[in-house]
Structure 1
Amino acid sequence: MSIAVDKPPQEETPTLGDDSRREVHEKSVYTSVTLPAHNPSEPIRQKWYQYFSPADTPEERRLILKLDGLIVVFVFLAYWAKVLDSSATSTAYVSGMKEDLKLYGNQLNYLNTVYMVGFITMQIPLTLIMTRFPVNYFLPAADLLWGVFTLAQYKAGNVTQLYAFRFFVGALGGFFFPAVQWYLGSWYKRSELNRRGAVFFIASSVGSMSSGYIQAGAYERLNNRFGIEGWRWLYIICFACTIPIALLGLLVLPGTPENCRSRILTPREIQLAQERMASERREPRQPFTMPKIKSILTRWRFWVLVGFAFFFSQADGVSSNSGLSLWLKAEGYSVESINTITTVSPAVTIVSSLICGIVADAYDAKVALIAGTAVLNIFASIVLAIWNVPVGLKFFAFFLSGTADGIAATIYAWANEICAGDSEERAVVISAMNTIGNTFGAWLPLFVWKTVDAPRYFIGYNWTIALDVCMLVMLFVLRHFWNRDQKKRQYSE
């Protein structure tokens, strides 16, 4: 790994070079702040209730706030809009699309399959292509195209047309998650990345909570307005939400620190961002060659992180396979009650994601957070596998399973940190981690979470226990290799 050489400090505005130089600046700039002794290779972390690190200069704090406003706001809104579309087809199907397009038999399953084919097959290629182009144009442009194909679905006259549109919607939306994780890792330090990743991730839960209300209200008020059926309006609304967000991205997104042409960031702020990433050993992009690909695929980081991602990505089955809603329906709860009660699980995911992001940034407690979440999920799955337990405990287990996804941002932030020395490796590993989860998630539930077993998914709950146990084993394997690399780097320094 090549180490970037820091530039000498300027006379009036200190730059952020290595940690020893930073301590000299802190004595002059922050004379009233006493900083604790720390490992020079580790950043000085903020407390959980602090937004900035004590080591951040006023100039650096202004840059962080700008980046949050430019990057985090956009990726949150864009991800939220994509969740609306992911649920729009199912809602449209039961709101008139089935009859209008004569979708009988397994056509709905085929539509979902075509969507997932585009989602999975194009995820890694598009993420890698993105690293070759200015990200500030590529991401919003992909969003614009995604909005166009989403709108095109409202004009579909038969299921064949809908198949084609769904493929492109899946392809253009599928790479967004790993691309954003890579993008965040290009701007934020490891002591800042978990929280930003958590804010981005919870857009999915916010979207799933809000989509039902938006779609129900739209159908009720717009059905047959201007001669357009209610289910077609759902796609028009998705388009109307997407286009302004994509245009916002074109206006405000910066590129990457090493190739940044921003209308809002100043040249000094871009230089500061480059220095911040150099201090993190976050390497800029390099030519993508066959020897580079071969090198990536022969390192432990690819195989261990992707293997770990397999177990993590499948371990949220309790909350993602409608066990709670089906149990409530079997118990005779009203539709209104079911819709209200089931919003608790995504709310738990939101809260746990934010807690994990804050704690991971403040205390570098990634291993403890991941292990603790796995243990909680094992407990919830054991309770549900037993099944014949008090009703209150069963509710608690279903709600507790919402924490399973709370560590997603922490895991991807850790991958950014582990692969910090190679920008292309970060892109390959992060996109492959997400692809492996979606690939197996597309067909494994057919065997593990069978509808005929609902609501007592005995096989599914035991499968989740096994996944979490394996995830704990892989966690310590991952920690072993990471600690070994850390020791090598410290020794070489």
Structure 2
Amino acid sequence: MTSIEKPPQSVGAAETTIASSVEDKHKQDAAQISPVPERQKWYEWFAPTDTPAERRLILKLDGLIIVFVFLAYWAKVLDSSATSTAYVSGMKEDLKLYGNQLNYLNTVYMVGFITMQIPLTLVMTRCPVNYFLPAADLFWGVFTLAQYKASNVNQLYALRFFVGALGGFFFPAVQWYLGSWYKRSELSRRGAIFFIASQVGNMSSGYIQAGAYARLDGQYGIEGWRWLYIICFACTIPIAFMGFCLLPSTPDKCRSRFLTEDEIRLAQERMASEHREARQPFTMPKILKILKGWRLWVLVAFALFFSQADGVYSNSGLSLWLKAEGYSVGSINTINTVSPAVTIVASVICAVLSDVYNAKASLIATTALLNIFACIVLAIWNVPVGLKFFAFFLSGTADGIAAIIYAWANEICAHSAEERAVVISAMNTIGNTFGAWIPLFVWKTVDAPRYLIGYNWTIALDVCMLLMLVVLQHFWTREQNFTRG
């Protein structure tokens, strides 16, 4: 039998072949051991690594938590504009409000809003959240309803304080609550849905209040302006009871008729994987540690600049310019709906990109640069009309990063539930505190519609926000490297 022999290989060629085979084997083993994770698509609600059990849990949480916080926040926005609407709809004459009493009512509201944010948020961390949030909502609705019975301004002062206190802590409290259930790759989108409720409320409140006044004025002997508060109450109470029925507490102490023991355990494991610590006793050493740490001061300073960067929209620059140009009331109201619509779109885009690509710093920087461009155009003022419209609408993107800023705070302060509560509530409180009086100096009505000081002030705020972004990124990167090391 004839055998065919292979030609002999040289020693060098054989060694090369063996080395190549070994290298290929190592590559195959490495690929099997550490496969490259599939990246989540921007349109996907779940990450590719989410198990079927996780996906069921996430959908349940969205139905139990996100629906409630969206509706509750929407209802609160109705009240924030109800007093101004009531004032021009008969309340001024009925209660004999003259001089600066409307300003005083707004000031009393803001005092309650600002002073009680941090205390009530911290109290919530000590209580079952599934009872505390709906209970605060319920009392908020009762105090809102009581305003319809007011017979003098002094009664309104007292009621407005409690309405401000019970409504003011809701935003930071919900941001903390979301951070107790959702992972980093999920937080921004849920925070954006929650934040969008305020924009939907701004867009819908005018139509709801106008329709209510037109149809209900004088019904059952009740003036139209009083009906506005009754409607706010009627919207709030069902939402509050829905919260009592649906909301779970936090994963560490969760009792829910809708979540199984396995799902609660899975939620706890998910937060452990994010290094998101459960609630602990609030001791003096812990308070001192929070006060001495960089997170509180850097994040609060960052939020201070961000909170006022939406001045173009919040100070009605577009409305006053349209009025000065002779646009009709109907046209002004219609055109003004574009700005909150831009904010909604920007919020969704930023939230999706933040969750999928973890691009918080880049998104914040991009938004700040867009706002700077818009304000430079408006500061110049003498530009083509189309460019001016574009600048006004572009400034609506300023609030689009709200959700990712608070999601980032949840991530940075993950190691302590108490620090998360202090930092998030302080960020919102300080921002609102400065936002309550600074506009009196930089957004003067006499400067309208060309708010030269206001537009330049907003440019300065965005520049400072970019500088603080560098500082924040430095501290956060240093901490991550230290933790990994």
- Name the TM-score class by shorter chain: over 0.9
2:199 — aligned with what?
Answer: 205
Q: TM-score, normalised by structure 2?
A: 0.93
CA distance in 1 between partners of 2:475 and 2:259 (Å): 38
1:88 — aligned with what?
Answer: 82
Whether contact under 8 Å (1:35, 1:54) holds in the other structure is no
In the alignment, which of 236, 239, 246 is matched to residue 245 of structure 1? Answer: 239
CA distance in 2 between partners of 1:277 and 1:36 (Å): 24
> Aligned with 1:102: secondary structure?
coil
1:297 aligns with 2:282: no
In the alignment, which of 174, 177, 182 is matched to residue 180 of structure 1? Answer: 174
Matches within 5 A, 1:226-375: 226-375=220-369
- The amino acid of 2:296's aligned partner reads F
User: Structure 1 unaligned runs (5+)?
Assistant: 1-32, 39-43
- The amino acid of 1:230's aligned partner reads G
- The amino acid of 2:240's aligned partner reads A
- The amino acid of 2:156's aligned partner reads L
Whether contact under 8 Å (1:119, 1:174) holds in the other structure is yes
* Number of aligned residue pairs: 454
Whether contact under 8 Å (1:140, 1:249) holds in the other structure is yes
Q: TM-score, normalised by structure 1?
A: 0.91
Q: CA deviation at 1:46?
A: 2.0
1:487 aligns with 2:485: no
Identity %: 82
CA distance in 2 between partners of 1:296 and 1:472 (Å): 25
Q: CA deviation at 1:34?
A: 12
- The amino acid of 2:36's aligned partner reads A
Q: CA deviation at 1:290?
A: 1.2
1:16 — aligned with what?
Answer: none
Q: CA deviation at 1:321?
A: 0.3
What do the CA deviations read for 1:330-362 (whole angstroms, capped 9, x no partner)?
000000000000000000000000110001000
Closer, same or farther: CA 341–468 of 1 in aligned 2, 3 Å = same
CA distance in 1 between partners of 2:78 and 2:226 (Å): 14
Closer, same or farther: CA 155–131 of 1 in aligned 2, 3 Å = same
Q: Which structure: larger Rg?
A: 2
Q: CA deviation at 1:376?
A: 0.2
2:120 — aligned with what?
Answer: 126
- The amino acid of 2:73's aligned partner reads Y
CA distance in 2 between partners of 1:377 and 1:122 (Å): 31
What do the CA deviations read for 1:430-452 (whole angstroms, capped 9, x no partner)?
00000011000000000000000
1:422 — aligned with what?
Answer: 416
1:193 — aligned with what?
Answer: 187
Q: CA deviation at 1:47?
A: 1.8
Q: CA deviation at 1:45?
A: 5.5
CA-based RMSD of the aligned residues comes to: 1.1
In the alignment, which of 131, 135, 148 is matched to residue 137 of structure 1? Answer: 131
Whether contact under 8 Å (1:134, 1:255) holds in the other structure is yes
1:217 aligns with 2:211: yes
CA distance in 1 between partners of 2:184 and 2:288 (Å): 27
Whether contact under 8 Å (1:97, 1:231) holds in the other structure is yes
CA distance in 2 between partners of 1:164 and 1:36 (Å): 62
Q: CA deviation at 1:37?
A: 2.7
1:468 — aligned with what?
Answer: 462
> Aligned with 1:306: secondary structure?
helix
